[in-house]
Amino acid sequence: MENEEDSVVGRTLHYLEAKRGSDDLIVFLHGLGLDANDFRPYMAESRFHCLALTLYGFDATEREDRYKPISLQAHVEVLAYALRKIKKQYPRKRLSLVGFSFGADMVFFLSRYTPDVLDELDLHRAVLLDPNANSTTTTISARIAKMTPDRALPELVEMLKSATDITEFRYLCEYLYKITAKNFAQIHRHATEVVAMWADASHEPFLNYIGLLNRHSNGIHVVFSFHYERLFNTIAHRAGLRGLDTDSFQCATSDHFELIGPTFLKQQLEGVV
């Protein structure tokens, strides 16, 4: 790392792996403050060889970590290092990346910060589940970014109050329960930097990332949850004007967190990988 404060030398990157004889290896990347365990239900029944990574500092065992939170670019570089090692360990397998929410953003940022690593991976597919597309999609993350890490409780409670129905309330409860078991300072810094990356209300930066990622993979599939139907329509239209394959974009009938449920993942991955 160029910045000594970003050093992670000697630290462990946590992961889960379900080894199978499949020719396809799928690597999963989780959302903000979540971890590899969110993919455990699908991995238990998948026909693919699966590996889920937990980004540095997001494992529950790192909650009391005294090291300072690392930057977004450092996260990307650590992820790139891990992916390079995985590819060397399984050189004959077709590697696909599946990113959920900020995990999908991390796939974009790989193409920005470490394009050489993406080329080495010879990426078969990139499946992006509810990636951020502009400033309108970072609602929860933006609220986390505005919090003071050591005085976040009142604002976390207010976030629960923002739920518009029982289903959203349940998902928010589950989400906040998970992230409050983590190193909140790391979550806060990550949210702050990623929200800054999507500060523009335009869809053009998102489509630029899609175009860049297209050059570093053999195929992309983007899925938006049903709350983003209007966003999906706009993006699909703009993508068509750019000559991008609009069939690569899909609007699901599922909610945000349902996109990482075993039923949805099985339906999606066995159709596009």
Instruction: Average the pLDDT over each of 40-44, 67-71, 240-244 and give the range with the smallest value.
Output: 67-71
CATH code of the domain covering residue 93: 3.40.50.1820
Helix axes 72-89, 102-113, angle to 10 degrees: 80
**Structural domain contains residue 151:** no
Mean pLDDT of 164-174: 87
| Predicted pLDDT of residue 14 | 92
- Greater model confidence, 196 or 4: 196
| Digit-coded pLDDT (tens) for 111-164 | 999 999 999 999 999 999 999 999 999 988 999 999 988 888 898 998 898 888
**Structural domain contains residue 175:** no
pTM (2 decimals)?
0.93
| Token digits of residue 20 | 């199978």
What residue numbers bound the domain in which 117 lies?
12-146+183-272
**Structural domain contains residue 110:** yes
| Predicted pLDDT of residue 272 | 73
- Greater model confidence, 250 or 8: 250
Write down the mean pLDDT value for the chain: 91
Ramachandran area for residue 202 (φ above 0: left; ψ -120 to 50: alpha; else beta): beta
For the cut 80, the answer to whether the pLDDT of residue 64 exceeds it is: no
**Domain tally for the chain?**
1
Cα dist from 268 to 11, 95, 210, 222, whole Å = 34, 16, 19, 10
Instruction: Look up tokens 């976040």; give the residue.
Output: 152
Cα dist from 192 to 36, 119, 140, whole Å = 22, 29, 11
| Digit-coded pLDDT (tens) for 189-206 | 999 999 999 998 999 999
**Structural domain contains residue 153:** no
DSSP symbols for 11-67: PPPPEEEE--S-SEEEEEE--TT--GGGGHHHHHH-SSEEEEE--TT-SGGGTT--S
**Structural domain contains residue 1:** no
Please report, to the nearest 10 degrees, the dihedral formed by the alpha carbons of residues 118, 119, 123, 124 taken in order: 160
| Predicted pLDDT of residue 168 | 83
Instruction: Average the pLDDT over each of 23-37, 43-57, 59-73 and give the range with the smallest value.
Output: 59-73
For the cut 50, the answer to whether the pLDDT of residue 1 exceeds it is: no
Instruction: Look up tokens 């699901």; give the residue.
Output: 252
**Structural domain contains residue 176:** no
Strands 94-100 and 24-29: parallel
Reported confidence tier of residue 237, pLDDT bands at 50, 70, 90? very high
**Structural domain contains residue 111:** yes
Selection from 247, 248, 267 nearest residue 259 by Cα: 267
Residues paired with residue 28 on neighbouring β-strands, in sequence order? 52, 98
Residues making up the chain, counted from first to last: 273
**Structural domain contains residue 169:** no
| Token digits of residue 135 | 């400033």
